[in-house]
Amino acid sequence: SGPGADGKYLTADAPLADFETSLAQVSAKLSYQLTKNNRLLYAWQRGTKAQPQNNADRFTLLESTRDYKNPTSIQKVELQSMLNPRLLVNAVGGYSGYVTDYDAARSYARVDAPPRQDLASTLNTGSAPLHQNKTRDRFQTEDSISFFPERSVLGRHELKTGVSIYLDKSSDGYSNNLACNCVLYTDTIGGVPNTPSQIRIYNTPVVPSDHANTYAWYIKDSWRPSNAVTVNVGVRWERQHSFLPAQNFAGARDWPTVFPAGNYPEIDAQTLSRAVPRAGVAWNLGAKSVVKATVGLYNYMLGDTYADAFNRNATANAVFTWHDLNGDHLYEPGEVNLDLNSTDFRSITAASNRILNPNLKSPDTWESTASFERELAAN
């Protein structure tokens, strides 16, 4: 929790601090029989994970930890309806989401303590470098119709078709640090420890917005040509659309010349569409043995953060050489040439470095299985 009586970090007298984690969750489910053939279900869940000393370890002091809270929310409504003895409908709609709040530990943060790291020892002191707020929202529906024909060709059939829709929205946002939207780095240079070396600056505050929508339709047939054999065949068509809506950036609070304000148009990051086949068979070899086999092609899932790498409104950082002219180990204006063409400039990491490739194709993931099952003893 601090340097100890000798005033030095990472020594034996350093006082320990506790790392706490708490999980709280509550859930409820309601099932209501509307009529003989119709049932309505509702499920609800809330949870919170908390770590007041998040990111703490031997090299990250208590003052440099983050106060992390993660509230989550899930709920759904489901309707199960038997329209007739041979037609079953199942419709589900719901939401899931969370907020991941990585804030600098409120009880420890100080306005006069900018984030620091010593490159030689990797010791982190000062306030936590980034006040981060991640949000995830998904609206989803899964709907299907199952049909059981009274008369089937070459055995019995069970037909099923359905749709899946996922509407995902995410944001990896960052707010302002109390002291400085930066990290000050020291190093052992020329045998002198704790020598000012470089500064990493951030474009915060930023609140990006990323979207990913998935639309899918499938149809399958469970065919039983005999009581001993079941064959499942089907196809799934899927369309994934990852994009960035139009958004604007107000400019970095501390470093507007390096990260100026801007307005960014909508970007279509990637669109993948493809139909994939699936098949499986189960063969009963008698009362106690069965052989099973499956084969199928699966699509690569872009995910809700795929477009984030191309979002110019997302977090960015730049590294410069830091000249501590007055030797106070604090950044003062004039100690760094913030021109990206100057000799002080070292590197920059931002979405503007990324290049979109609209011709990418989904990777092929084929999966096949085979198994033999045998009952060795009754019960």
Task: Give the model's pLDDT for residue 4.
Answer: 87
Cα–Cα distance for residue pair 365/295, rounded to 1 Å: 11
| Average pLDDT estimate for 233-239 | 97
Instruction: Determine the pLDDT at residue 104.
Output: 65
CA 159 to chain centre: 35
Predicted confidence at residue 360, as pLDDT, reads 86
Q: Is the pLDDT of residue 378 over 90?
A: no
Rounded CA gap, 264 and 273, in Å? 26
pLDDT in tens, 130-148: 788 899 999 999 999 999 9
Which of these, 258, 255, 251, 254, lies nearest to 342 by C-alpha position? 258
Burial status of residue 151 (CB atoms within 10 A of its CB: 0-12, 13-18, 19 or more): exposed
DSSP 327-351: SSSS--TTSS---TTSTTEEEEE-G
* pLDDT above 70 as % of the chain: 98
CA distances from 160 to 63, 144, 157, 239, 264 (A): 58, 7, 10, 20, 44
Question: Do the beta carbons of residue 294 and residue 277 sit within 8 Å?
Answer: no
Query: pLDDT per residue over 169-210, tens digit each?
Result: 999 999 888 889 999 999 999 999 999 999 999 999 999 999
Cα first-last separation, the chain: 58
Average pLDDT over residues 291-310: 93
Residues composing the chain:
379
Tell me what the mean pLDDT of segment 336-348 comes to: 96
- At residue 341, the pLDDT reads 96
pLDDT at 37: 96
What lies within 8 Å, CB to CB, of 146 at 6+ separation is: 87, 88, 89, 90, 158, 159, 160
User: Mean pLDDT throughout 235-254?
Assistant: 96
The predicted structure's pLDDT at residue 109: 67
What average pLDDT does the chain have?
A: 93
Q: Please check whether residue 232 is in contact with residue 224, taking contact to mean a CB–CB distance below 8 angstroms.
A: no
User: Tell me: the pLDDT tens digits for 262-294?
Assistant: 999 999 999 999 999 999 999 999 889 999 999
Give me the phi and psi of 164, to 5 degrees please: -130, 135
Note the pLDDT tens digit of each residue in 208-228. Answer: 999 999 999 999 999 999 989
User: Distance (Å, rounded) from C-alpha 201 to C-alpha 330?
Assistant: 14
pLDDT at 8: 87
